[in-house]
Amino acid sequence: MNKLKIIIFGGSTVFIFLAILGFAFSGTDLAGRLVTVKIDRGLGIGDIAALLKESDLLKSKTAFTFYSLLSGSVRDLKAGSYLLTTDMSVPSIVKSLVRGPVEDIEVLVREGDTLAEVEAKLVRYGILKKNALIRYPGKSLEGFLFPDTYRFFPNSSPKEVVEKFLKNFNEKALPILSKTKDLYNTLIVASMIEKEVPFLNDRYLVAGIIYKRLSIQMPLQIDAAPETYNRLGLPTKPIANPGITAIKAAANPLPSSYLYYLSDPKTKKTIFSNTFNEHKENKWKYLGR
């Protein structure tokens, strides 16, 4: 009888231990939030466990340490940056750290790329899922994806990607835009200049013409923004993501006597006119119409 009790007690203890161990080995969040963790060279198993716990990836530092030792993986954990999720079990995390860090991906956002074009590129590289940027909560991101070279991890969260874009925008574009009377409208003008005018000096003159047309209630007639061609006022949002030179031009328009312009299809140079008759002559000369 006593022997039977001991066996039952022993079995219950093992069951409870396994239950506790299973809980400790499971992820911290069923939703599976993405977390980026950087493990520096020279960190010991205790330091790594503490870092993972602080990053909300572990329920138990002891479980991670125990499994790393028991599986013989403790000497094979590699330094580097990792993209982990809060629903990963301890064995899955250890396996990732043994396999090594996932290489990040270089993404080039070009001047004049639209929000849709940037998102398509990120989806193609496996960084985001479709509509992650286009449907991102809040105001449209069009115009705020500052053209530059970025590095992202595969399967990044939209929040991480957007934060990286906005950090760069705030560092490089905002200091210029914040000195203008209307930051957002200046960004809209910059986006049209980016799509409409390729050469730097021409951009400052075109910026002056756009503001002049706005001031005299004249349609903008900008080919790059067809919806504004025959209507008064600016588009409701940027039409693309402008680079630094277009932003500088929009923030520092150059006054002139010009009111009209067109682009030479051969040289891409902007041809300016003072009057509508001059503009018609230039259209025949350069466009054949």
Which residues is 152 bridged to in the sheet? 105
Give the tens place of pLDDT for each residue, 212-257: 999 999 988 888 777 786 778 899 999 999 999 999 999 999 999 9
Confidence of residue 279 (pLDDT cuts 50, 70, 90): very high
* Number of CB atoms found within 10 A of residue 178's CB: 11
Of the chain, the percentage scoring pLDDT greater than 90 comes to: 67
Do residues 224 and 196 touch, judged by C-beta distance below 8 A?
yes
Task: Give residue 22's pLDDT band: very low, low, confident or very high (50, 70, 90).
Answer: low
Distance CA 97, CA 116 (A): 35
pTM for the full model?
0.69
Q: What are phi and psi of 30, to 5 degrees?
A: -65, -25
Mean pLDDT of 101-121: 92
pLDDT tens-place string over residues 118-169: 999 999 888 899 999 999 998 899 999 999 999 998 878 899 899 999 999 9
Strands 260-263 and 149-152 turn out to be: unpaired
At a CB cut-off of 8 Å and minimum separation 6, what does 138 contact?
Answer: none
Poorest-confidence range of 30-34, 127-131, 205-209? 30-34
- Let me know: does 225 contact 235? Beta carbons within 8 Å: yes
Grouping H, G, I as helix, E, B as strand and the rest as coil, residue 262 is: strand
Radius of gyration of the chain (CA): 29
The region that residue 218 occupies, defined by phi over 0 for left and psi between -120 and 50 for alpha, beta otherwise, is: beta
Residues 246 and 191: their CA atoms lie apart, in Å, by: 7
- Closest by CA position to 271, among listed 208, 188, 220, 197: 197
User: Region 204-217: what's the mean pLDDT?
Assistant: 96
Q: How far apart are CA 191 and CA 228, in angstroms?
A: 13
Domains of the chain plus CATH, in order, are: 2-99 (3.30.1490.480), 105-172 (no CATH), 177-287 (no CATH)
Largest distance between two CA atoms of the chain: 113
